Each structure stands twice: as C-alpha cells, then as structure tokens.
Amino acid sequence: MTDLSVANTTRRPTFDVEAIRQDFPILSQQVNGKPLVYLDNAASAQKPEAVLDAMDRYYREMHSNVHRGAHTLGDRATVAFEGSRETVRGFLNADSTREIIWTRGTTEAINLVANGLAPRLKAGDEILVSHMEHHANIVPWQMIAERTGAKVVPIQVTPEGELDLESFTSLLNGKTRVLAITHVSNVLGTVNPVAALIEQAKALGIITLVDGAQAVPHYQPDVRALGCDFYVFSSHKLFGPTGIGVLYGKAQLLEEMPPYQGGGEMIERVSFERTTWNTLPYKFEAGTPAIAEAVGLGAAIDYLQGLDRQAMETAESALLERANQLVETVPGMEIIGTAKRKVPVMSFKIAGLHPSDIGTLLDQQGIAIRTGHHCAMPLMDFYGVPGTARASFAFYNTLDEVEALFTALRKVQRLFA
C-alpha cells in the first residue's frame, strides 16, 4: 500500500510555516545528503535566530556578573537577567517574580522541591506519581522516600495511554502528602487533566507539583488557574538554550522550605556563628547563575509570544492527524499511546524491527527521531517493550516532512521484510 491510497483529508491551517522555518537556521541544512527532517523535538527543540542573537548580544555587549555590580555592564546584565525572570512570570501568570526560581532544568527543579519537602514527610506518608512519569519525576521522590520512610505510589494508566482516573481517586487517602504529575507524557503525548487532579488533591491538603517540560512547547500554562503549588519546565524544550530551567512555587511554600544549596547569592549574612538566608527567589539560587541562558530563555518566550499560539496548536494538530492517517501504510507499525487528547508525539514499534535500527536507517535518510526507553522504563514495562521509536513534532515541522517520515519508514520496513 502506498501513501497515495490514504487521502490527505487534513486541512492546511492558515499558518506560514515556511516563513517561520527561516527563523531557525539549523533546519536549512542537509544530513547525509538529504534535507534535515528534525523530529526529535520532545528531547530538545531547535532555537530561533532571536534566541541566538540575544545570547550573542549579551556576551558581546553586557557580559558581567549580576547583582551588586557597581558598574554599567553589571547593571545591563542584571536588567536583562531579571527582565527574563519577569518574562517567565508573565508566561506562567505567576503572582510575583519571587515565585520564579532559576534551575538547571526540570530535573534539578524537581530535586529541589523533593529535598525541600523532605522535612514534611515521615514514615508511612505517600507520594503519588503516575506510571507515565519521566525518571526525573520518579527517582528524586524515591530518594526522598528512602530518607524519610515515605512511599512512592504509582497511578495506573490505561492501555490507550490515558491516566486511570479511577486508580487516581482510589489512591488518594489520608496518608497522601504529595502529588507529582506530568502535564504531558514525553512518550505517549497524552495531555493529563491536571487541573481536575489538582482540585481533588487540594481538597485533601495534598501538595501538588506539575512537570510541564513537555507541555510548555505546545501550550501556555496558567499556574494560578491550575492551582498547583509547583510547576517546572526546561528551557531547551521551549526553543531556548540548554542548561537552564524554571521552578515556579507558591511563595508561602518556598519561604517555608530550606535552601537547596549553600554558597554565594543565597545568603543575607554569613558569620561563623550563624548564617541567614536571602529573600526569594535568591534563597534558592546559590552561586553565579546561567545569565546568558536566562536571557536566551526570555528571548525564546518573547519569540513564541509574537506568534499566533492558536494557529500553532492547529498546525501541530494537523501534523499528528496526518501521521495517524499514514500509519496503515507501514505494515506492522503500531502506535504506543492512543489517548484522545495528545500533543504531536508519536511513539511506535514496527513488527520485527528494533527501535535503534529504525532510528539509524532513518538518520541515513536525513530524518532525526529518538529511540530507546525515553527515560520512562516503568511505562515501557507496562507496554511490554524494551523501547520505542518516537517522532515528535513542533510548529516548524511541515506536512511534507510527515510524508517524508512515512516514505522512509516504508523503505525501512521493506528492507527488513
């Protein structure tokens, strides 16, 4: 069966993707003699020129350490650095920049919260996560559970890859102290109903953390509307630089939590008798921060805010819709995760083929995907697979690239058949 036997019923949205692609220099290159088709966005998204320019300008025109500088470059750097914090605050609709903590990424943000909540936990307490979590939202809680005697309890998922809401409700009890849940699954693309989950948890006084790493590239979250206590994400998945991420936390909880690291910046006064902590957000930002990266993240958010977000979502939905239509053109291809509400992430297997072989052969055709367990081994165990191949789309991908992916997959399947 060829792709011509599947009618393209997808309506092309009014979204000038070709113009947008010009903003991303890396997309114009060739790989292995073929035009690059970059479909590994869930691992790390590409960066627009606006981000590259902002970071270059920082290093060329204002590089200096931030805060307390008594010179012009220090002032410029501080204004840019704190300006990005305000940009993030607005992006999340947080109450104050006091609630925006710079971290190295989602992983460090979750570790910070887990360690900060450890004094609240005791033997017998329960930390509720889901079966679809990234390891970054499992392992830190396991480490804290070992220290405190608490227990990590997984919420089940359905075969379709949706959160089992009956399982969730049945697990809520008087011992539950923390709910740490992903907004969007990095493997399945499933969008979880986090607002409803948080509402149930808050009724029992449970502290809530949302892993938004896979959500923010596709949706703009509103932390006040969600009602969560903590929301975390990484810059590099949001079209910004690597090495920086964000922890949003309600000010009252952050005030009550102990510092995560000690050193410069996070202190108010140091003596050998006693050290006191700086105010929020600096209490959790020990040492020289990732200044250029913060500037780059601010530029990435500004770039996204300049686009029509609704049109972006429509364009991404069209990519996933067309990909789903073309699955039947590849004999033996099976999608892992068929939730009703998904972002454009497609994890799959092809009968008789190892995911790493699929990835290698696609790369020879210029197509970049991700293979393996995707830092979600419990989910792989649930589906009884060692790993999957994963194509993840962004708003700068095109319907022609979807066609190219499936043309290449048919070549791979025929080769092994």
**331-337 — which CB contacts under 8 Å span 24+ positions?**
331/1, 331/413, 331/417, 332/413, 333/409, 333/413, 336/161, 336/187, 336/188, 336/383, 336/385, 336/388, 337/160, 337/161, 337/185, 337/187, 337/188, 337/189, 337/190
Q: Which residues of 172-186 are buried (b: 16+ CB within 10 A; e: fewer)?
A: beeebbbbbbbbbbb
Q: Note the residue count of the chain.
A: 417
**DSSP result, 30-59:** EETTEE-EE-BTTT-----HHHHHHHHHHH
Neighbours of 209 (CB within 10 A): 28
Helices within 306-349 (DSSP H only)? 309-326
Residue 107, classified by CB atoms within 10 Å of its CB into exposed (0-12), middle (13-18) or buried (19+), is buried
Starting at the edge strand that comes first in sequence, how are the strands of the sheet with 151-155 ordered? 100-103, 245-249, 230-234, 207-211, 176-182, 126-130, 151-155
What is the rounded radius of gyration, in angstroms, for the C-alpha atoms of the chain?
Answer: 22
**Numbers of helices and strands, H then E, in the chain:** 14, 17
Report which secondary-structure segment, H or E, holds 85.
helix 72-92
> What residues pair up with 270 in beta bridges, in sequence order?
275
**Is 375 annotated in the active site?**
yes
Q: Which of 375, 382, 386, 403 is catalytic?
A: 375
Nearest alpha carbon to residue 358 among 374, 375, 370: 370
Query: Catalytic site residues?
Result: 375
